[in-house]
Structure 1
Amino acid sequence: MKNTSTLAIGLIAGAVLTALTYTFILPHSGDSAANADNADSNAPLYWVAPMDPNYRRDAPGKSPMGMDLVPVYDDGGMDESPGTVTIHPNVENNLGVRTASVQRKSLHVPIRTVGYVQYNEDTLVHIHPRVEGWIDELYVKAAGEYVKKGEPLYALYSPELVNAQEEFLLARNRNNVNLLQAATSRLEALQMPAQAVNQLKQTGKVQQTITFTAPQTGFVDNLNIRQGFYVKPGVTILSIGALDEVWVDAEVFERQSNQIEKGLAVTMTLEYLPEKVWQGEVDYVYPTLDKDTRTLKARLRFDNPEYFLKPNMFAQVTIHSDLDDENLLVPTEAVIRTGKQDRVVIALGEGRFKSIEVKVGNIVNEYTEILSGLRDDDVVVTSAQFLLDSESSISSDFKRMEEAESMPSMVWTTATVNSVMAEHNMVNLDHAAIDEWGWPEMTMDFFVDQDLDISKLMPGMSLHLQITKADLGDYLITEIHIVDEDGNMMHMEGMDDMDDMENMEGMDHSGHSMGTDNADKEMDHSGHGGQY
């Protein structure tokens, strides 16, 4: 009985061990397939140089700088344009990424600048004598005094005026009409006051000193004389300016000059009366810019019944210019401004971001006008955009995905060889402008298709070549024609002599290969775009 129990326990233990072995130790065929699929899905797409993301290889190795290549994995199969950055939601939250939708609305563009209060020159009067003489009495003692029209300013003793009065009396005594008329005209030409002339006619006595009065009400300015001064024609004795209405000369930057026009509403404040706001308008826009300050001067007109505004005061001016058209606006903080380019980072959704180039218009406080580069339904990043832009701009073409897809995948161009790096299957070229891709003339590094033998290339050679854009945004040379001094082209494969060009079959006059479409070749990931 005891042996039977022992045997039963042994059989049960053996069954349990067998089950555990098959369950946890020995792999099932289904699990093996799943593990193999998972390994394939986690395999790197390619390896990239840490310091140059355009240097790519299909296997681990060293970069041209001797650094280990870094593996790049599949991002989920999404078709992205160059420069698209994908971050995890937790990272996005930690970075403090905030976004805002693009708006379209009319833009109020206030132009804030400085101004200087001046007399209204339409009412500014300068007083000059018509005769030589001495200031016998000066009734105005200092500049800035307020005078009313008809009040005395100064009394002048002038021998010329004395002689003119004597001639008038002599003509009148002789009852000579012609002489009397000539003498009267002379007194008027010498600006003898009408009151003095009437007194001369009534009394018949010559006045040694003539009192001159204020021609208008206002404030005395430019007082250049004192009692006893000798004056003569051409000397500015004083000026009188009215301050019931003043001018303000405002300076506007050159870039804002197209927004200024006559009749625009203006508000103005002064530091010594911060609670008071003056309302005026643009009265005149000067036709020329100041060559030193590069500013345009605009003349503003303000009523000044209480004489608060005084000449030469410094004022803060706001000219209200409205753009009535609907404008595409983004928050000003979203725009990344550089010396050569303005950019914004757009949010593509699902944690994807891309830096693109935009053209900036007017900038008004919290809003910036975008002339091109964005659409109405775009969302831009307003916080942490500099971090995203620094990552995206490494490989970004700064174009929208739709724009990049509309470009041809293959182009032909001419180039000159600078150097050949046979060990890397790479060449450095000076290529011509490529209008199809918007490229200017520049020097670039290119990887060459592995089917092409670049051992025949030498520095200084002229080439006619085909460049193909891969799916990942790389650029690969897929066909090369060598150009001789006479302009003949030789296909780099199978030709040893330039003179055999005429025997080539399947070539058109432009050097394009006939019957072979290199754009359809299966490309590896070794394409390389050079530095702009």
Structure 2
Amino acid sequence: MNIFVKQFAVLAVGAAIGGGAVWLWPGHAPGDGGGQHDTDGSGGEPLYWVAPMDPSYRRDGPGKSPMGMDLVPVYANDAAGPVSPGIVSPGTVSIAPEVVNNLGVRSVKVREAPLAGEIRTVGYVRYDEDRLIHIHPRVEGWIERLFVKASGDPVSRDQPLYELYSPQLVAAQEELVLALRRSNTVLLKAAEDRLRALQVAPETIAALKRDGQVRQTVTFRAPQDGVIDNLNIREGFFVGPSTTLMSIGALDEVWVEAEVFERQVDQVAVGQPVTMTLDFLPGRRWRGRVDYLYPSLDEGTRTLRVRLRFPNPQRELRPNMFAQVVIETDPGTPTLLVPREAVIRLGDRDRVVRDLGGGRYRSVPVRLGRLGARHYEVLSGLDAGDRVVTSAQFLIDSESSRQAALQRMGDAPQKPPQSARVSGTVVEMAADRRLVTIDRGAIAKWRRPPARVTFIVDAAVDLARLPQGGEVEFTFVIEDGEFVLTRVHEAGEGEP
């Protein structure tokens, strides 16, 4: 029983889709009695025949299109090609109300409003480099003791980092002790200034002045709160001023470096609000702001780096985390807006389908401006109050464009076909298909070199005048991209 119900449902859905297709098929409209073209002579003879999928393929009689489909006749009373009942003017499609309902055609009104824009991109969490400190010794020496053991260790301001033995530090302390013993205030001040320049802590200098005891090792302390990064030393290392011992980064506020496309650069400004989400805490959102726009674009990706700043009081954000960010751009002044789903983008042009009312629709070109979160800015092509289709518009656009193209073809003057007179050698003949392959000579007026070409032989040309291997002089024309041999000339015959 379940199998029977499923099969019946599939048949019902197929019938509904097929019914909608029949109503939109060229030549069918309500009350047309089946949608067949008038072939009994009451509507006149067909003007020409065209391919159903390519209105530019036109022939004088019935036949097959390049895709193998039967050509469709076009009559004088057709407003825009093969369809007359469903077309009220070139490019305008008329659809019955029940078909509109079956296809789910929906339309909305074009309105004026500020463009609520947002730019979605990705970024990486970084240290706040305004507060990223690199630790270097001011003298050469050996690491006697290391108080921090690994990158990522938290440290507090004035917490011991390492002890250093340096002959230069020992000598500087002895100078201070000597100045104290001699009560020489000038030498004492100079010795104190030297120790401070070598980053000796004030507490160490005070203890040295108090007890006069020279320390063989000096303890160096953290200049700020933060976490250790890039720890490059171990106990016993020999270090110098060029050695980066470690870095200390603050995490109570972090940077996020993101990238925006070149076309979006003018929409981003310092101070704009930003929302950030991360995979490691689904549903959690962080609020920040645009802090800085870098001055140059990446020449490979054509993107601009944008620096964002976020508070991080709980230290949940860690460097190198991957983040999704949304930059909220300035909406600006009110402008014409259409939904993103209403726009049909074709690469070199953009279109929408206008709802003209009464079941009539027309595909119209538009010029678009900025892209917002849900809407496009319309610069030209629509007016406030127009209605545009937001669903099933691709099917309507296809039919509207096809009918408009047929109308333009019918109105456009026909250009004479290109022709040339040339000589050549017959290589092969297919008499049953009236095809001949000829090694033709060069065509000077077209600057074409000699080539082997297969020609369609016109019905007026006697195939006996094209013997295989024979030298012939002939005229051919180019019609619809095909080479048609129209005349074989007698020897010595001049130009017509």
> What TM-score comes out, normalization by structure 1 length?
0.62
Residue 209 of structure 1 corresponds to 217
> In structure 1, what residue type is equivalent to 2:77?
Y
Q: Does residue 47 of structure 1 match 2:51?
A: no
Q: Deviations over 1:363-396 (max 9, x none)?
A: 3454333222111232222222222222222353
Residue 294 of structure 1 corresponds to 302
3-state SS, counterpart of residue 319 of structure 2: coil
| Structure 2 CA distance for aligned equivalents of residues 390 and 145 of structure 1 | 64
Residue 172 of structure 2 corresponds to 164
**Alignment equivalent of 2:119, drawn from 111, 125, 134:** 111
**Equivalent residues of 2:142, 2:238 under 8 A apart:** yes
Residue 520 of structure 1 corresponds to none
Q: Does residue 73 of structure 1 match 2:77?
A: yes
3-state SS, counterpart of residue 333 of structure 2: strand
Q: Aligned ranges for residues 249-260 of structure 1 at < 5 Å?
A: 249-260=257-268
Residue 309 of structure 1 corresponds to 317
**Alignment equivalent of 1:98, drawn from 106, 111, 115:** 106
Deviation at 1:324, TM superposition (A): 3.1
| Structure 2 CA distance for aligned equivalents of residues 64 and 143 of structure 1 | 76
Residue 154 of structure 1 corresponds to 162
Q: Does residue 128 of structure 1 match 2:136?
A: yes
3-state SS, counterpart of residue 298 of structure 1: strand
Q: Does residue 358 of structure 1 match 2:366?
A: yes
Q: Aligned ranges for residues 316-335 of structure 1 at < 5 Å?
A: 316-335=324-343
**Equivalent residues of 1:354, 1:396 under 8 A apart:** no
Deviation at 1:86, TM superposition (A): 3.5
Residue 250 of structure 2 corresponds to 242
| Structure 1 CA distance for aligned equivalents of residues 382 and 175 of structure 2 | 86
Q: Deviations over 1:194-251 (max 9, x none)?
A: 2222222122221100011111111111111111111111111111122122222222
Aligned pair in 2 of structure 1 residues 68, 157: CA closer, same or farther (>3 Å)? closer
Q: Does residue 143 of structure 1 match 2:137?
A: no
| Structure 1 CA distance for aligned equivalents of residues 72 and 302 of structure 2 | 55
**Equivalent residues of 1:48, 1:55 under 8 A apart:** no
**Equivalent residues of 2:50, 2:56 under 8 A apart:** no
Q: Deviations over 1:138-171 (max 9, x none)?
A: 1111121222111111110001111122223334
> In structure 2, what residue type is equivalent to 1:186?
R
Deviation at 1:253, TM superposition (A): 2.1
Aligned pair in 2 of structure 1 residues 176, 366: CA closer, same or farther (>3 Å)? closer
**Alignment equivalent of 1:194, drawn from 202, 217, 224:** 202
Aligned pair in 2 of structure 1 residues 209, 67: CA closer, same or farther (>3 Å)? closer
What is the percent sequence identity of the aligned residues? Answer: 53
RMSD: 3.6
Q: Deviations over 1:72-118 (max 9, x none)?
A: 53558999664333344454444443322222222211222222222
Residue 378 of structure 1 corresponds to 386
**Alignment equivalent of 2:353, drawn from 345, 368, 382:** 345
**Equivalent residues of 1:48, 1:72 under 8 A apart:** no
Q: Deviations over 1:490-511 (max 9, x none)?
A: xxxxxxxxxxxxxxxxxxxxxx
Q: Does residue 85 of structure 1 match 2:93?
A: yes
**Equivalent residues of 2:117, 2:373 under 8 A apart:** no
| Structure 1 CA distance for aligned equivalents of residues 295 and 416 of structure 2 | 51
- Comparing 350-359 with 194-203, greater Cα deviation is found at 350-359
**Equivalent residues of 1:55, 1:63 under 8 A apart:** no
3-state SS, counterpart of residue 171 of structure 2: helix
- Comparing 129-138 with 217-226, greater Cα deviation is found at 217-226
Aligned pair in 2 of structure 1 residues 161, 39: CA closer, same or farther (>3 Å)? closer
**Equivalent residues of 2:105, 2:389 under 8 A apart:** yes
3-state SS, counterpart of residue 234 of structure 2: coil
- Comparing 65-74 with 90-99, greater Cα deviation is found at 65-74
3-state SS, counterpart of residue 284 of structure 2: strand
3-state SS, counterpart of residue 201 of structure 1: helix
Aligned pair in 2 of structure 1 residues 61, 318: CA closer, same or farther (>3 Å)? closer
> In structure 2, what residue type is equivalent to 1:326?
P
Deviation at 1:182, TM superposition (A): 3.2
| Structure 2 CA distance for aligned equivalents of residues 317 and 119 of structure 1 | 17
Deviation at 1:69, TM superposition (A): 4.2
Structure label with greater radius of gyration: 1
- Comparing 71-80 with 285-294, greater Cα deviation is found at 71-80
Residue 292 of structure 2 corresponds to 284
Aligned pair in 2 of structure 1 residues 84, 56: CA closer, same or farther (>3 Å)? farther
> What TM-score comes out, normalization by structure 2 length?
0.66
Deviation at 1:183, TM superposition (A): 2.8
| Structure 2 CA distance for aligned equivalents of residues 264 and 332 of structure 1 | 24
Structure 1: give runs of 5+ residues left out of the alignment. Answer: 1-37, 421-457, 460-532
| Structure 1 CA distance for aligned equivalents of residues 205 and 416 of structure 2 | 96
> In structure 2, what residue type is equivalent to 1:73?
N
**Equivalent residues of 1:245, 1:301 under 8 A apart:** yes
Deviation at 1:128, TM superposition (A): 0.5
Structure 2: give runs of 5+ residues left out of the alignment. Answer: 1-37, 421-474, 477-496
Aligned residues: 373
| Structure 2 CA distance for aligned equivalents of residues 55 and 159 of structure 1 | 94
3-state SS, counterpart of residue 160 of structure 1: helix
Residue 240 of structure 2 corresponds to 232
> In structure 1, what residue type is equivalent to 2:74?
V
Q: Does residue 223 of structure 1 match 2:211?
A: no
**Equivalent residues of 1:116, 1:314 under 8 A apart:** yes
Deviation at 1:397, TM superposition (A): 7.0
